[in-house]
Structure 1
Amino acid sequence: MADGEAGERREQARTALVLKVEYPTLEGFLQDYSDNISHGGTMIRTRREVAVGDELRLAVSFPRLLQPIALEGVVRWAQPELEGEHAFGVEFHRHPDSGWMQLGELVARLAAGDASLFGARTPQILVADDNEHIAEMICRGLQAQLGRGAARGRACQAQRVANGVEALSHLDQQHCDLLLVDVMLPLIDGVELIRRVRAESRWQRLPIVAFSASIEEGLPQRVLEAGADFFLPKPFRLAELLDTVDRLLELDQPAPTAVS
């Protein structure tokens, strides 16, 4: 399922409704392609009113895609408005020159990690820590230090969540290249959060760094067994964290990890 965003309009010279459809993550697009689009259709939500029989022109994109995917189709069913949104099913036109017919090639290129499809890499880092002061220092430090190397592709964007529930919600809705986790999180602790992340096939390759000030015996081993790639004891030096982030993200590589 995709969401139709604000870039929608109805052209004067044509009856086709134009919708900009943005997937929060590449993985989300690939999942929808596998489950729905490859079979000829999908469901879209938008605040624009649509009706059965409406012709559509879609500009489909996901993070870092240089050129949106152009698709055409027709509305086959529509649900009543709910909380200001309209949900409808679109059947794609599948003539030989249609964008839908070219999607198989594009998905194959995505699977091969074709870098020419993507813009400059800006890794997205999620910091899960209930200590707002420490989390903000980590975020600012990452952005400042890695940002100094932006010309070499080392810039990043870092965001903070305060507990394990917020972390899972963020991962569901937004792309993430690396997860930094304080083990002593509220609601869902860091070890359980890591287990839940690793239980999802889409997140099994997500780099995870865990950290904690706890001196509990065996904690580092439990964290690594849960699925973390590294464990850092607090307090740690920012340079140590930056070195770990650099190695995990392989920031010198412009292309995304190949998708299988």
Structure 2
Amino acid sequence: MSKRPKVLIAEDEETIVESLTFLMEKEGYEVSVATDGQTAINMIARDTPDMVLLDVMMPVRDGFEVVRAVRGDSSTQKIPIMMLTAKTREVDRRKGLELGVDDFVTKPFSTRDVVSRVKALLERAEN
């Protein structure tokens, strides 16, 4: 891959943002951050990332609304989306999968595990 893959982290918990940003940049990713759902939607439309890490519970618009917006736009619908969630309920997981989420990680999670899953999703998206 010639260019650095762009990853958008849409998450309002500062400690999670810091640790994910640190590890992603160390792995060579270009990272941008949105701390609410509406900002995430605006950033995705303005500068399409290669991957989105998305918290379910965020201010303004939640993660499910962000997925709907991304999947509803032909220019962004193929972007891999990984949801980060404190919700372990099966109904939330199913809702995410029905909306087109590619992967689910339940908090608390290992940031290293998230990074390796991001790598796998980006490789799959390239092929």
1:172 corresponding residue in structure 2: 45
Determine which of 7, 13, 20 is the counterpart of 1:125. 7
Tell me the distance in 2 between the aligned counterparts of 1:162 and 1:186: 8
TM-score normalised per structure 1: 0.46
Q: Deviations over 1:139-164 (max 9, x none)?
A: 111112x1xxxxxxxx2111111011
Aligned amino acid, residue 181 of structure 1 = L
The structure carrying a bigger strand percent of its residues is 1
Contact 1:136 1:160 in 2 (8 A): no
Greater Cα offset, 225-234 or 237-246 = 237-246
Aligned amino acid, residue 79 of structure 2 = L
> Could you list the runs of 4 or more consecutive aligned residues of structure 1 that deviate by over 6 angstroms after TM superposition?
none
Could you tell me how far 1:134 is from its partner in structure 2?
Answer: 1.2
Secondary structure in structure 2 of the residue aligned to 1:201? coil
The structure carrying a bigger helix percent of its residues is 2
Structure 1 gaps of 5+ residues are 1-118, 147-154
Could you tell me how far 1:218 is from its partner in structure 2?
Answer: 1.4
Could you tell me how far 1:176 is from its partner in structure 2?
Answer: 0.6
| Mapping of residues 164-243 of structure 1, within 5 Å | 164-243=37-116
Could you tell me how far 1:185 is from its partner in structure 2?
Answer: 1.1
Two-structure CA RMSD over aligned residues (Å): 2.0
TM-score normalised per structure 2: 0.91
Contact 2:70 2:77 in 1 (8 A): yes
State the number of aligned residues: 127
**Which structure has the higher relative contact order (CA within 8 Å, separation 6+)?**
2
Could you tell me how far 1:215 is from its partner in structure 2?
Answer: 3.3
Aligned amino acid, residue 25 of structure 2 = Q
Could you tell me how far 1:131 is from its partner in structure 2?
Answer: 1.0
Q: Which structure has the larger Rg over C-alpha atoms?
A: 1
Contact 2:19 2:111 in 1 (8 A): no
Structure 2 gaps of 5+ residues are none
Aligned amino acid, residue 243 of structure 1 = S
Identity of aligned residues (%): 31
Are the structure 2 counterparts of residues 173 and 201 from structure 1 closer, same or farther at C-alpha, using a change threshold of 3 Å?
A: same
1:142 corresponding residue in structure 2: 24
